[in-house]
Amino acid sequence: MKQVLKVEDMSVTFELHQSEVQAVREMNFTLSEGETLAVVGESGSGKSQAFLAIMGLLAKNGRAGGRAMMGDINLIGMPPRQLDTHRGKDIAMIFQDPMTSLNPTLKVRTQLAEVLVKHRDYDQQKATMAAIEMLERVGIPEPVKRANAYPHELSGGMRQRVMIAMALLCQPKILIADEPTTALDVTVQAQMLDLFKTLTEDFGTSLVLITHDLGVVAGVADRMMVMYGGRAVEKGTVDDLFYDPRHPYTLGLLHSTPHIAKRAARLDPIQGLPPSLEHLPKGCSFNPRCAFAFDRCLVERPPLTDTGNGREKACFYEGPMAYGKVA
């Protein structure tokens, strides 16, 4: 399948008062046309910063290294003016809080039309028509009426849809969705995930879905990348990672997630706390919490290694992984 994004050796570093902290390290992955890649991991593992870096949206004290190739152009380090010709058009990002993308002082139709006028040279009328069509496409009832509303006059779920409609207006090749359903009720979440599925199928959009919810991942993603302490620790298809996880952290996440149809007396959580990026443990960053750690893990850092069948993991342990009490 055609690759639409190839990220190579990407890193994100933040300048602090006296020191600096590396939020993302040695990141490598590819995204194919029409596929959905889930990026999972606990809070602070670098999920958002990795993709903000690709979008050129890091905070002032942040800088990105490495390459993010969209075809033969590298998005990392591209001057903002040049990035602006791609953002929204070829690659778009949406967030948990729709109000970070929407302008509260403009009517929905105005801000949606603006995007098409800017990127597609549409005239105002054609742009408005296309905007309303897209609102309908993302499942907004009475789109003509809703187009005349201001964002605050809409419900949370509706605003989320408007944001998605805006991101899709130029039919970007890549849509990055950062926790897009985390703040929504399950019923609305189900509607949104369904929408994502149809959109990737109909438009051939490649979707990056950043989430901490493995339930969401199972339902919509094709492949997944698990992050820990700023690094990818396991990659593969959703089925491979769910049914045959090879990294102890992936296994631990699965055992920590309650399953509505399978009631266990106790969950089997990963012990301890996620690491601080400023004081990452020596050797494998996961070793203090790992049930399978041995001598080597304490001194040497396991590199992300190809293990065949399109799978990769960063772990030295090769034995069986029966886990804790419940497994």
Partner 1 sequence: MNQTPINLLEIKDLKKTFSISGGLFSRRLTLTALEDINFTIRKGETLGIVGESGCGKSTLGRCILQLLAPDEGQVLWLGQDLTRLPAEEMRMRRQDLQIIFQDPLASLNPRMTVGEIIADPLRALRPELNKDERRARVLKIMEAVGLLPEMINRYPHEFSGGQAQRIGIARALITEPKLIVCDEPVSALDVSIQAQILNLLAELKDEFGLTLIFISHNLSVVRHVSDRILVLYLGRIVELATGDEIYEDPKHPYTRALLTAVPIPDPKLARLRNIDALKGEIPSPINPPSGCTFRTRCRFAKPYCAEKRPPLERIEDDRLVACHRWREIEVPVEAVLGA
Per CB under 8 A, residues contacting partner 1 are: 42-43, 141, 155, 157-158, 185-191, 193-194, 212-219, 238-239, 242-243, 252-261, 263-271, 273-274
Residue 212 in contact with ligand ATP, rule: CB under 6 A: yes
Instruction: Give the three-class secondary structure for 271.
Output: coil
Structural tokens at position 186: 């399950």
Shortest Cβ distance from residue 185 to partner 1 (Å)?
4
**H or E element at residue 308:** strand 305-308
Q: Which is nearer to ligand SF4, 161 or 235 (CB)?
A: 235
Name the DSSP letter for residue 229: T
Does position 317 interact with ligand SF4 (CB under 6 A)? The reply is yes
Q: Buried (b) or exposed (e) across 164-191, using 16+ Cβ within 10 A?
A: bbbbbbbbbbbbbbbbbbeebeeebbeb
Q: Are 177 and 196 in contact (CB under 8 A)?
A: yes
**47 near ligand ATP (CB under 6 A):** yes
Residue 48 as a binder of Mg ion (CB under 5 A): the answer is yes
* Cα gap 134→319, rounded to integer Å: 51
Contact between 23 and ligand ATP per CB under 6 A: yes
287 touches ligand SF4 (CB under 6 A): yes
User: DSSP code of 262?
Assistant: B
CA 1 to chain centre: 21
* Residues in 48-67 at the binding interface with ligand ATP, rule: CB under 6 A: 48-49, 59, 61-62
- Residue 286 found at the interface with ligand SF4 (CB under 6 A): yes
Which residue lies nearer to ligand SF4 by CB, 195 or 290?
290
Given the rule CB under 6 A, which of 143-151, 161-169, 196-204, 284-292 is the region that contacts ligand SF4?
284-292
- CA dist 279 and 293 (Å) reads 19
Per partner kind, with CB cut-offs from 5 to 8 A, the member of ligand SF4, partner 1, Mg ion, none near residue 308 is none
Q: Candidates 26-34, 37-45, 78-86, 263-271: pick the segment binding ligand ATP (CB under 6 A).
A: 37-45
Whose Cβ is closer to Mg ion: residue 215's or residue 324's?
215
The number of beta carbons lying within 10 Å of the beta carbon of residue 219 is: 16
Residue 292 near ligand SF4 by CB under 6 A: yes
Query: Which residues lie below 8 Å from residue 178, measured CB to CB, with a gap of 6+?
Result: 47, 48, 51, 93, 94, 95, 96, 210
Q: In what order do the strands lie in the sheet with 62-70?
A: 20-32, 3-15, 62-70, 73-74
Q: At what angle do helices 124-137 and 108-120 cross, to 10 degrees?
A: 120
| Binder of residue 49, out of ligand SF4, ligand ATP, Mg ion, none (CB less than 5 to 8 A by kind) | ligand ATP
Residue ranges binding ligand SF4 (CB under 6 A): 247-248, 284, 286-287, 290, 292-293, 297, 302, 315-317
Q: Could you list the residues that contact ligand ATP (CB under 6 A)?
A: 14, 21, 23, 41, 43-49, 59, 61-62, 212, 277
